[in-house]
Every structure is written in structure tokens, then in C-alpha cells.
Chain A
Amino acid sequence: MEGLLEKVLSLSVLLGMLTSGIRLATPYLYAAIGETFGQRSGVLNLGVEGQMLMGAFAAFYVTWRTGNLLLGLLAAVVVGALMGLAMAVVTVNLHAEQGISGIGFYLFGLGMSDLLFQKLLGTVRTVEPFPDLPIPLLSDIPLLGPVFFRHNVLVYAAYLLVPLAWFVLNKTTLGLNIRSVGENPEAADSLGISVARVRYFTIILGGVLSGIAGAALSVGLLGVFQQNMTSGLGFIAVALVYFGAWRPLGVLAGALIFSLVNAMQLWVQVLGVPIPSELAVMMPYILTIVVLVLTVSRARPPSALTKPFEREA
């Protein structure tokens, strides 16, 4: 047992866990940051998983056909934007119940990506994914260089997105408008802010980021598309927004905790630590819930979350 503990806590294993955790958190970051924008403007989008699947398929298919990864990424952006646009029409203009609409879009994405996979690909195929791009100098830092600075471009971009999202939400007029629309749309409206336009923007942005989250899997980390490959990841991303108390940095913390513990349980099993595998795979979920309970803050959701806005006549 002592030998095992030493093995688990050895430097190379810890560095390995860190590297894995950073990679695993990538899709959550895109999807959850996108969802944060939506929720801060008062729109709950539960269709993230469906948008991710469509993005993952679009990116994979276009890359497979053209051999061009950037075109694939662009396809994911376009498809994500279209899914977001449809969600915006349904929830903003038609005042549909947000939760149910989101589920509808999830089911659409799940079924449609599967259908397209069967009709257009026929079988599981592979493409060369985005290559790792070591950052000069930084990647040569002993020990930590390879952990942080040898990833593909979509991984770096996901982490750069966090401060950017924080900046936009907290330091720009656009962010102020988003927040006021999410807290008090009537007041925002009386100040001349178009509630509908702001929500269109955040929902479409959410769709785009979810699409990229899917691409970060299919052509970023994997180079493969498989039916239902997101496997509930999109729903965890929505939960991470609550976990992160609607703040980009909180979302980052949540995504990292969840992913690092997931990476840890992979190592725990590989090193042959004698605990049941069922227990090991539960670890990230258990720990996330524990952290959530322990850190219950005064955070509260945006006041207008899930409430459609109708301008008084």
C-alpha cells in the first residue's frame, strides 16, 4: 500500500494528472462560458448538449471532406450560430418556455447529428485533429512547460476565453447591458436597451461557443466522430454555470476541479489502486457536489432568468 501511495503522489503522475485535467476541461469551458452569457441576460439554454453534438459533427464532416481544420471549425461556428438563432427566435420572439425549448434543441441535435453521421459518414472515420502547438520558450520550462504549454490551439483559446469573458461582462457597456437585461429587463428597456437584441446576441454567442466546444472534441482532442459522443458533457457545462455562480472565473474553477478529479481517477485506476472502478468514476461528481455544498455563497441567479420579456403596451 505504501508503495502505491508513493506511486500515486509521484511527481510525474501529478504532472500527468494536471495535463489531463487541463485538456479535459477545454470543452466545458467553451460551453459553460457561452451558457454564462446567456444566463446573465436571463436566458437558460438547456440545448447546449445538442449544439455541441451538431458542432462536433459539422467540424468533423467538413474537415473530413476538405482536409481543412479551419474550415471545419468555421462550420461548427456557423452551425452553432444557427442553432442559437433558432433558440433565440423561439424563446425571445415566441416567448416559449426556455427549459423545454432547450430540451427540444438538445433532442434535435442528438437525433440530427446521429442521422447525418449515419447518412453522410456511414461508419466511424478519423481525421488528423488540430496538432499540439508547443509555445516557444514557455514549453521548455522544466516540469510545468509541457503541462501548460503543449496543447492544441483550441485548448489555449478556451483558457484565454475566461478573462476575456470576465472583461466583457464586467468592464464593457455590452456587459453592463447584458447584466441589466438579465436582472431587470423592464428598467433596461426604459433606458433604451433593446432586450431582444441583447438576448439574441447572447444566445447566438452561446450557440457559437457550444459549437466550438463540440469541435474541440471532434477535431481538437480526438479526430473522430461517434454517435452521442458528448455523453452528457453539455449538461455538466450548464451545471458548472450554477457552480460558478454565473461568473467566468467561478466556471473556470468548477471546470478545473471536475476535470482534475476525473484525471485523478483515471490515474488511480491505471496505477492499480484497489478501489472499485464504479467508485472511481463517481469521484468527480461527488467532489463537485461536496465543493458546491461547502461553498454555498450568497450568489443568486440573475433575477430575470427563464422569464420571457414582453414589452408593456
Chain B
Amino acid sequence: MFRNPLFRLLLVFGLALGLLAACKGQQPATPAAEEAKKPFRVAVVMPSAINDLAFSQSMYDALVAIQKERGEENFQFVYSDGMYVVDDAAAAIRDYATQGYDLVIAHGSQYGSSLQEIAPDFPNTSFAWGTTVETFGLPNVFAYEAASEQGGYVNGVMAAMLTKSGVIGVVGPIETGDAKRYVDGFVAGVKATKPDATVNVNWIGSFSDVSLAAEAAKTHIAAGADVMTGTAQMVVGAIGVAKEHGVLWFGTQADQTSLAPEIVVANQVYHWEVVLNQMIDLIQQGTLGGRSFAIDLANGGIVMVYNPQFDLPDDVKAAAEKTIEGIKKGEITIPLK
């Protein structure tokens, strides 16, 4: 008697995930302009909302920037956001490829195995995915990643100089990929500047659980943290807690200053357009994939944005700038665990 409804619950939950595929359709595509000169058409699949102030927004902003630069008649894009269910994303990727887009971007490392299956079926379509360096040896797959440890390191240097308690808290999603690189870089930056500082790291196991991210931040503060950072879209909960307690915050992936202008010190901001432009040029010259790209401080794909409303001490800013120069010139190397 007892087992039956539970089983049914699981069954229905499974169905729910399946139905989600049907529900979360794609955004309406802008009809291709029927001109003699065909525009370059890009489709992108993203795990969270385009306005998440984090990972997905960084890609959306990049595409908007490229469109502005190249003109709407030369560059068009469509997107499916909120595709956190990988099977749905795979269906969308295949759809876009079928519709003949010039470049289909799978913006999320979780989409890798889907792409590996789909890409060989569309040899004339170029695919890109990130964040990774893995192209699967396929001639029509580009890989891209962010050297997020670089901005993490710079943030870490500033965090170490600004902490008074000597305790710094980090709220991360899942210990992998872009998030792990950022956190590793951040910890390295702190340790290089203030070896006796304590950095407490908390992985909450989710990219979307805003309330758990907030509770993790409260835990850090209870453990004595007076400076925090975190990565991925659920950190908005942690930023709220930091604001409430007057704890300093370092952002990454997008400029998070608007959420808490009082306490956000600086942000690592991604400009994917740097590598996307390289890919588009290659595709137009006939190379559909097989290479991997990285945005970093040196190529301008990673930019440190200071919050103008935050009164950053001159020596801290000078140290940050010196660190940025050092990383650009390769004088500072950041160990990745």
C-alpha cells in the first residue's frame, strides 16, 4: 500500500521532465531576411535565463554586441534559454541544425555528450560548445572556455586585502568546469596575497537553488566571513544576504553591481564576442570547427569591472591592476587543481 503512491509519484515526476521538453519550446526565430546577401545566422541553447546576471546572460550580451557591430542585415541570432534539462537542449540543438543555421552554440558543458552525437549528422553545420577545450576530434565542432581563474585570482588578491576578519566565504554551484576554475583562481589569489587568510568554500550542488545559496552565505557569515564571492546564477540569493549584512561581494560571469551597489567591489565580466568573432571569421572562410578558444585577460575576452560606487582604496586597486598586468604578461601563473 505504502510503496504504490510513492512509485507513482516518481513515475509522474519522470513524466514531468519529459513533458518539459514539449513545453519549453524555442523562442520565435526572426524570419531570415530574403536578401541577395544572406546574413550569418546563429542559434544558441542556454541553460538559464538570458537575464540571469551570470552565465547565460554573458553569452546573450555577446551576441547582441556582435549584432550591433556587424549590423542586423549581416548577423542574426535566435536562442532557447532556460534549457536546464539536457534532453530538451539536445532536441533544440538538433532542431536548429535541421533549420540550417550557420553556427549552433550549445552554451553549457552539460550539453557535450549530446553535441558529440548530433554534430556528425550535420557535417555542413558548424557547432560550438563551452565551456571546454574538447572538440571530440570532430571537424565541425569548436570549443570555447573562459580562463575564469584569471579574474578569480584578481578578485582573490583584492578580497585578501579587504578582509579584516581574515575569513572569506565562497558559494559555488557544482565543483566542476568554469565554477571550479574561478574558485581555484580566487583561492590562489587570496593565498598569494595573505597566506594566513582562511577561505571557506561551499558547493551547494545546484545552479538554481537560490534559497540554499542564501543559506550558505549566512553560514559563511556566521563562521566569520566579511568578504564573499560566488559563481553561477543562483548566487543572487547570496548577494542579497551579503548586502543585508554589509559583507563585501566579488562577482563573476557578468556585472552584478546593480544587485547591491553598496557592497559589490568588482566583477569579472565575460566578453564571448572575442572568440565568437574568431569562429565566425573561420566559418566564413570554410573552417567549420576542430579548434578550441579561450577568453582571457590578455585577449580582452575577460574584463575586470570595478563598481564605481564602491570606495576602493588606492593601494588595493593598484595591486589589482598590477596583478592583471602580471597575468597578461604571463609573469603570474595560476595553478589549477
Contact = CB atoms under 8 A, between A and B. Distances in A.
Given A231-B208, A271-B200, A305-B5, A46 B16 contact: yes
Interface in A221-249: 221-224, 226-229, 231-233, 235, 238-239, 242
A100 B16 CA distance: 8
A106 B211 contact: no
A300 B1 CA distance: 6
A269 B201 contact: yes
B5 A272 contact: no
Given A107-B20, A118-B51, A223-B240, A231 B82 contact: no
A242 B23 CA distance: 28
B124 interface: no
Given A124-B53, A242-B5, A277-B175, A269 B19 contact: no
Contacts of B15: 99-100, 103
Given A124-B236, A238-B9, A271-B223, A277 B203 contact: yes
Interface stretch (A164-172, A176-184, A195-203, A259-267): A259-267
Contacts, number: 176
B169 interface: yes
Contact of B219 (A16, A110, A111, A228): A16
Interface in A265-281: 266-267, 269-272, 276-278, 280-281
Interface in B57-87: 82, 84
Contacts of A306: 5, 8
Contact of A221 (B6, B82, B84, B211): B211
A20 interface: yes
A117 interface: yes
A107 B203 contact: no
A190 interface: no
Contact of B53 (A23, A100, A123): A123
Contact-residue size bin, chain A (C-beta under 8 Å from the other chain): 35 or more
A301 interface: yes
Contacts of B244: 223
Contacts of B211: 24, 27, 217, 221-222, 229, 231, 233
Contacts of A102: 12
Interface string B1-28: 1100110110011011001100110000
B222 interface: yes
22 contacts: A16-B223, A20-B218, A99-B8, A99-B12, A122-B51, A123-B258, A124-B52, A125-B258, A126-B236, A229-B237, A231-B211, A238-B9, A267-B219, A267-B223, A269-B203, A270-B169, A271-B223, A277-B175, A277-B205, A278-B174, A301-B2, A306-B8
Interface of B: 1-2, 5-6, 8-9, 12-13, 15-16, 19-20, 23-24, 48-53, 82, 84, 169, 174-175, 200-206, 208-212, 214-216, 218-220, 222-223, 233-234, 236-237, 239-240, 243-244, 258-260
